[in-house]
Structure 1
Amino acid sequence: MEAEDLSSAAGYEGHIEYLGDKKSDCTLRITDLRLSDSAGYRFRLITSGDKFAGSPVSLTVTDVVLEMDPTSVSERENVTLTCRTKCTLDPITVYSWYKNGQPIPNSNTSSPVYILFSVSSEDTGRYSCAVEGHEDLPSAEETLTVRCKYMWFKYILVY
């Protein structure tokens, strides 16, 4: 793949900023990261007649993903929500949990696992999660369906 000069590439205006001093500091800032920013980046130094390229630095941008197990249950069963990311996180990361786009009260945890115990029909909805400091970038929503559990009784008439 041919190297591309991002300083003038369409779609990168205001997204890529060179912060270096053009002598010994080659610092690049990428703001508002996108999945499409995952790539190898390198600086190329052009002098009067010579070109030098630095070693590439690999950048991988990932999403936060919510896994739900199971996604369809009967009342009084448990559901496990797991918030996953490939990002390296601080060991004391806090996870936030959402139902239908609203924070679930008292649900922030230091564990990437959140369990819904003994669900009822009111637990039906769309769930998502986010990582502390990035609540504006929640996972895609997963839908939980809770089926009503009917109790059957047999009546015996005695005369």
Structure 2
Amino acid sequence: MWTRWEYWKTLTCSTTCTLIGNPTYIWYKNGQHLDESTYKVKYSVSSNYEDGYSCAVKGHEDLRSPAVCVQGQDCNRVTYTKRRICVLKGSSVDISCTYGSGYDTVTSSLWFSPKQSARWSGKLIPEDITTDPGYAGRVEYGGEKERGHSTLRITDLREEDSAEYKFIFNTHTSRWGYSFTGTTLTVTDVVLEMDPTSVSERENVTLTCRTKCTLDPITAYSWYKNGQPIPNSNTYSPVYSLFPASSEDAGRYSCAVEGHEDLPSPEDTLTVRLTDISST
């Protein structure tokens, strides 16, 4: 919502529903956190065609609003499609953003990760992630750069790829995007937890398929015994129960996220002891 006051404009940080409590707000100018005196829902700014502003509810800074231009539709800005992404080790991910260069022409652009800054020749000059030996053969760019959209694709993901990724572009007069919060990627494997791993017949066993972060979108789980799918076992719950266990349930178990059955968890072995029934 914009209110025109001569050379000033008023920005409003709004939500689609009313937040409980008395939230305060964080304001950003061109990606930089503004002074704490701006902890209000409205913020007045002087018009400058280059400046882009965004806001967030304090305590939820990773859920920042898209940047808006103070003057017209064009300004320097970088807006990421997602702030956080959780994906499986061994799979691929697309990290994307839109950006604007105002009235300047983009001369070059690149993706980088601050995590890799130790290997940069200049500590404050980001280097293109496609030149990083750790990502050799696993990264590529996509998107229509001339239309203000770019995508970084990383394949064969490894846990060490977990990091923040940022996009910057250069114009004839400046570099934009370095100070903007990027997209945080978490790469997780799939782990099966079995409780307990040894039981007597007619006791209960719980299998839980765990990841370090919540996969997006929420998916279903597939369950396996001795390397073979368990019939009618797919579930949207990460928990699968043997209730009660029998001697036939003994074996090696694993799980996988549906759609990524080629990336199952390591196997865990269930031992079922026979119940000795004697008569007198």
What band does the TM-score fall into relative to the shorter chain? Answer: 0.7 to 0.9
2:254 matched to 1:128?
Answer: yes
2:130 matched to 1:7?
Answer: yes
Q: Distance in 2 between matches of 1:51 and 1:8?
A: 19
**Percent identical residues:** 63
Q: Distance in 2 between matches of 1:40 and 1:51?
A: 19
Report the equivalent of 1:147.
273
2:79 matched to 1:79?
Answer: no
Structure 2 SS opposite 1:36 = helix
Deviations 1:60-85 (A, max 9, x none): 11122222111110112121112223
1:37-116 correspondence runs (5 A) = 37-47=161-171, 50-52=174-176, 53=178, 54-85=180-211, 86-90=213-217, 93-116=219-242
Q: Distance in 2 between matches of 1:89 and 1:50?
A: 35
Between 1:124-133 and 1:107-116, the stretch displaced more is 107-116
Bigger strand fraction: 2
Structure 2 SS opposite 1:43 = strand
Larger RCO (CA under 8 A, 6+ residues apart)? 1
Deviation at 1:31, TM superposition (A): 2.0
Number of aligned residues: 153
Change in 2 beyond 3 A, CA 1:67/1:34 = same
Unmatched runs of 5 consecutive residues or more in structure 1: 155-159
Change in 2 beyond 3 A, CA 1:89/1:21 = closer
Unmatched runs of 5 consecutive residues or more in structure 2: 1-114, 118-125
Q: Distance in 2 between matches of 1:55 and 1:106?
A: 44
Report the equivalent of 1:157.
none
Using the size of structure 2 for normalisation, the TM-score is 0.49
Structure 1 SS opposite 2:153 = strand
Q: Distance in 2 between matches of 1:27 and 1:108?
A: 33
Q: Distance in 1 between matches of 2:127 and 2:249?
A: 49
Q: Distance in 2 between matches of 1:134 and 1:7?
A: 26
Using the size of structure 1 for normalisation, the TM-score is 0.81
Bigger helix fraction: 2
Q: Distance in 1 between matches of 2:135 and 2:243?
A: 46
Q: Distance in 2 between matches of 1:56 and 1:42?
A: 5
